[in-house]
Amino acid sequence: MKLTQDGEVLAENKVLILYILSKLNEPVTNDNLLQFVISVMDMNYFYFQQFLLDLLEKNYIISFSQDGKQVYQITDIGKEALSLTNDILPGIIKLKVDTSFGKEMKEIKEEEAITSEYVPIGNDNYTVTCKINENNNCIFEVSVFAGSREEAKNIVDNWKENAYRIYPEILNSLNH
């Protein structure tokens, strides 16, 4: 795909992004939006970024920070533009979005539900923060000290792999 190709194909790609954002009904990160788009249509990362910029400039989408991440959401102007241009998007593409949407959305929600990060607080000292989010709300958060970068990384990795087991144990310990 070339950015110099005909306007109809370029418009189709922008409409696809608007269509996906309208189906989400909630903010989505750049990486997750790209994941949705490429699950339906082969699109170059740099073209995708250019399409996002174009949509932002026309106020069809907005970008803002949510939980420390940059996210995108369709605007009312974008919804109106989508309703006027919806027929540009081939039915087969819409069907792909609609059928693959549930699976992709579930994977993204699971991926974003359990997060952890470490931040240096001195020479070889780190604070590790582990979270569980549900419906864009933090339902559990714990911060712990790590005496080395390796220890911090191990805690982060262990949380991501075992939060489903660790969280109930912590909650149970706190309740007794």
Quick: pLDDT tens for 121-154.
988 899 999 988 876 678 889 999 999 999 999 9
53: containing domain: 7-89
Phi, psi dihedrals of residue 37, rounded to the nearest 5°: -60, -50
Tracing tokens 């993204």 back to the chain, one arrives at 108
Bridge partner list, 28: 72
Residue pair 116/159 in contact (Cβ under 8 Å)? The answer is yes
Higher pLDDT, 8 or 58: 58
Asked if 81 and 117 sit in the same domain, the reply is no
Q: Taking the mean position of all CA atoms in its chain, how far away is CA 153? A: 22
Kindly report whether the global pTM for this prediction surpasses the value 0.75: no
In the chain, the percentage of residues whose pLDDT exceeds 90 is: 40
Among 45, 73, 89, residue at a domain's last position: 89
Tokens of 79: 């919804």
Bridge partner list, 72: 28, 63
Residue 35's CATH number: 1.10.10.10
Quick: pLDDT tens for 36-71.
888 888 888 999 999 999 999 999 999 998 877 889
